[in-house]
């Protein structure tokens, strides 16, 4: 199996996000910095939730967008376990949605859905937006859809899907999206799975206006999960969780929540929760981590942060972020699923591959 290489740029991005601070915030107190950062986060989430790419990234098997227009509940599912290998050069070219209604024997792909119309080093696919936002119509051929405009474009500049019978899995996708020639954003996905207990992944979605979402993880003796929201090179929000152990024996080793240039840290071996402003440990400001469970807690699950400011006032972070908390939670979950890569792009890639 070809070994996957996670991009060096991703490491640089993670480091730069963690270290970059807005110089205009240097003289602010912890309370003022939190208030400023919360305002920026809420503004960012408001813009993201109205962007064209938001509906794309939040597609899921249970979402209304995915189900709408489907002929059956099963139509949105493409949980077929591909035990095959495919790479970009095997499917490169320009393709239009132009199905052949003649059925051919095949378990997964009875119809050829796309016709090659030109050459390209990339995979460029033009299809109706209805087939993207209602994937059941892509998975179950509806001839009336052939009359729709091919106004949605997927351009994959990197793609490979390597899988073998020993459950080794190596996946890479770099793709951009546009609707009616309007840029919706791009995604960069890397995933390497050596066993059910040894996996690492990095999922990034970037919006045209400079906002980016990232979810990374690794499992093994140590489990680490990171979610971040950034604007260009500035971190707006970042949560990092590190666990040791397995199953219900898993215990939190370190927790870091960054809101702009304020970092809240809890580590084993340290009695108190530490609050840093621009990397400087604060003596007056503090925080209390509130959990409803001691297992797998996250700010997007069963955790909250009670902030204690240096002027003696307190505030829960969930209340400060209430305008955007549910959207952030949904985005974090969507970055885990990356529904569009598996249920749409992979489906298209394998249809082209098997029906060449």
- Domain range for 306 is 8-21+38-354
> Does residue 333 lie within any of the structural domains?
yes
Distance, CA of 186 to CA of 208 (rounded, Å):
8
CB 168 within 8 A of CB 1: yes
> Does residue 29 lie within any of the structural domains?
no
Print pLDDT tens along the chain (356 aa). 444 444 444 544 454 444 444 444 457 899 999 999 999 999 999 999 999 999 999 987 655 344 433 323 333 333 445 556 899 999 999 999 999 877 776 566 778 899 999 999 999 999 999 999 988 888 888 889 999 999 999 999 999 998 766 667 899 999 999 999 999 999 999 998 877 677 899 999 999 999 999 999 998 888 899 999 999 989 999 999 998 877 667 788 899 999 999 999 998 877 789 999 999 999 999 999 998 665 667 899 889 999 999 899 999 999 999 989 999 999 999 998 888 998 899 999 999 998 87
- Closest C-alpha to 76, from 349, 355, 340: 340
> Does residue 27 lie within any of the structural domains?
no
> What pTM does this model have?
0.85
**How many folded domains does the chain comprise?**
1
> Does residue 30 lie within any of the structural domains?
no
Distance, CA of 300 to CA of 325 (rounded, Å):
8
Residue 267 DSSP code: E
Residue 174 DSSP code: E
* Contacts with 64 (C-beta within 8 Å, 6 or more apart), sequence order: none
CB 268 within 8 A of CB 284: no
In the three-class reduction of DSSP (H, G, I as helix; E, B as strand; rest coil), residue 249 is classed as helix
* Contacts with 284 (C-beta within 8 Å, 6 or more apart), sequence order: 310
> Does residue 31 lie within any of the structural domains?
no
CA–CA distances in Å: residue 149 to residues 36, 128, 144, 271, 278:
45, 5, 11, 62, 51
> Does residue 1 lie within any of the structural domains?
no
> Does residue 261 lie within any of the structural domains?
yes
**Residue with tokens 């040791």, as numbered in its chain:** 244
Question: In 84-219, where does DSSP find H-type helix?
Answer: 129-133, 136-139
Q: What are phi and psi of 2, to 5 degrees?
A: -70, 135
> Does residue 190 lie within any of the structural domains?
yes
């Amino acid at each position: 199996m070809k070994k996957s290489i996670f991009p060096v740029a991703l490491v640089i991005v993670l480091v730069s996000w963690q270290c970059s601070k807005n110089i205009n915030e240097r003289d602010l107190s912890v309370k003022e910095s939190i208030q400023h950062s919360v305002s920026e986060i809420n503004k960012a989430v408001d813009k993201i939730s109205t962007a064209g790419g938001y509906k794309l990234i939040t597609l899921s098997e249970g979402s209304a967008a995915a189900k709408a227009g489907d002929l059956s509940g099963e139509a949105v599912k493409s949980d077929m376990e591909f035990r095959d290998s495919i790479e970009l050069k095997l499917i490169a070219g320009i393709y239009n949605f132009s199905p052949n209604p003649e059925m051919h024997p095949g378990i997964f792909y009875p119809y050829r859905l796309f016709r090659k119309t030109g050459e390209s080093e990339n995979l460029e696919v033009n299809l109706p937006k209805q087939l993207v936002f209602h994937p059941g119509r892509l998975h179950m051929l509806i001839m009336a859809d052939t009359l729709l405009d091919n106004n949605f474009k997927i351009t994959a500049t990197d793609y490979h899907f390597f899988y073998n019978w020993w459950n080794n899995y190596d996946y890479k996708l770099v793709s951009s999206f546009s609707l009616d020639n309007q840029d919706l954003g791009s995604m960069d996905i890397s995933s390497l799975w050596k066993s059910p207990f040894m996996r690492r992944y990095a999922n990034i979605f970037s919006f045209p206006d400079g906002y980016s979402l990232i979810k990374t993880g690794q499992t093994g003796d140590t489990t680490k999960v990171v979610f971040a929201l950034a604007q260009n090179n500035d971190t707006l929000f970042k949560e990092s969780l590190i666990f040791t152990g397995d199953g219900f024996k898993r215990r939190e080793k370190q927790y870091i929540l960054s809101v702009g240039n304020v970092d809240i840290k809890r580590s084993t071996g340290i009695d108190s929760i530490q609050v840093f402003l621009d990397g400087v440990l604060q003596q007056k400001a503090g925080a209390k981590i509130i959990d409803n469970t001691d297992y797998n807690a996250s700010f997007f699950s069963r955790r909250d942060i009670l902030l204690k400011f240096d002027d003696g006032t307190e505030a829960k972070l969930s209340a400060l972020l209430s305008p955007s908390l549910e959207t952030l939670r949904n985005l974090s979950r969507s970055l885990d699923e990356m529904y569009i890569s598996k249920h749409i792009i992979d489906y298209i890639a394998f249809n082209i591959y098997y029906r060449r």
